[in-house]
A and B are shown apart, each in its own frame.
Chain A
């Protein structure tokens, strides 16, 4: 099923606003003008097409021509692929790619090349200094919150582990699981021996019985 046109329009407006932040990306869009990427959800329940044009991309419910590359995957897989590209990854985990993967890689590089700087977004609204202070303050607040959350989780886990014994240490759990595995293996061996004895099968000839028979 193709995506409703109004959703395509929303995607196009957002994507173009983002891409136009980096002039070299628009130059790349112009270079790839006319080429298409079809994006679809895995079940094919929703699909849309990106066509490169001189001023960015055009997003349409249906491809105007056969697309150069078809990509299907969940939105989370798409996002993962983008974050991997930002870290230098070159593959598309969780995505099914048919056609020109190089075009897809190029588009992914364009998206990651633009980057996101909240200060730049806020500066026209608040002014440069206020935007810098606001973003700096927010970053500090987020860091403080993240650090405290992590510390609180560590302390809580330690309390549950050492004081109330509701949680086991990872090393103890590992040892216990190894012991469980050994016990299970020993039990399986014993069961096999018992089965052989019950069925009255000849015990396997050992070195000592072979010498005695000789």
Chain B
């Protein structure tokens, strides 16, 4: 199964809605323009702080070494970039990229607050990354792939930007592995999440979209097969918190 837009109808999903392909990007941008300022606070509230552990797992699994080049796609507020910047040291390089200028602005401000100022920040679409082939040792995309219109194209683009032997880590919401958890998670996502959005960020619709977009995102096995089809090898799925979140890691082998 692929998650590309339907070529005949020219539509794709935006949450549970079908929208014209050209419209999705603008609507996703609208959501993130709206949530950017309270993004981290909402992440902490929504995940009860567990998102920090998920990100820690990605950082450890990435195993970034001194001197390596890392691209943080859809890096938003720069949580991953900040940690990678410590690992690569002065000889390496971390590029923070996001399609959304508001999120990048927020990321730049937060990085500067923590003393990280020498980090290139690039506004780029994951579907057509503006980097030469084989530029990076490691690419990560944390909670970003589900908002990309053409995921297959984005995966191919990231594969191209990796050096042979380089790895891509996708951190994304996924499908809970147990029925019981799935029911609780549904209630949480569609009842509590929009309510928190309304109370804390005064934006119920954006947080309803986040919940819907999670449901429309490919499950673990589908995303794995998409990565394999995009040219990755040794692809492995790591379910966290009962599959609520999954990390997919694949390598560009050639």
Contacts and interface: CB of A to CB of B under 8 A. Distances in A.
Interface of A: 5-6, 8-9, 12-13, 16, 20, 51, 53-56, 58, 60-61, 64
B239 A13 contact: no
Contacts of B65: 20, 55
Nearest to B247: A9
A13 B59 CA distance: 10
Interface residues of B, number: 13
B238 interface: yes
Interface in B162-205: 165
Given A9-B57, A9-B61, A60 B239 contact: no
B240 interface: yes
A13 B63 contact: yes
Contacts of A12: 61, 63
Contacts of A5: 236-239
Nearest to B64: A55
Given A54-B165, A55-B63, A64 B239 contact: no
A19 to B, nearest CB: 11
A125 to B, nearest CB: 15
A162 to B, nearest CB: 58
Interface in B56-83: 57, 60-61, 63, 65
A8 B238 CA distance: 9
Contacts of A64: 233-234
B59 to A, nearest CB: 10
A51 B167 CA distance: 15
B238 A6 contact: yes
Nearest to B66: A20
Contacts of B236: 5, 8, 60-61
Contact of B63 (A8, A51, A56, A61): A56
Interface in B215-254: 233-234, 236-240
A210 to B, nearest CB: 87
Counting from the closest, the 3 A-B pairs by CB-CB distance are: A13-B60, A5-B238, A16-B63
24 contacts: A5-B236, A5-B238, A5-B239, A6-B238, A6-B239, A6-B240, A8-B236, A9-B60, A9-B61, A9-B238, A12-B61, A13-B60, A13-B61, A16-B63, A20-B65, A51-B234, A53-B165, A54-B165, A55-B63, A56-B63, A60-B236, A61-B236, A64-B233, A64-B234
A74 B74 CA distance: 44
Nearest to B249: A9
A13 B249 CA distance: 14
Contacts of B165: 53-54
A60 B63 contact: no
A55 B238 CA distance: 20
A17 to B, nearest CB: 8
A104 B238 CA distance: 27
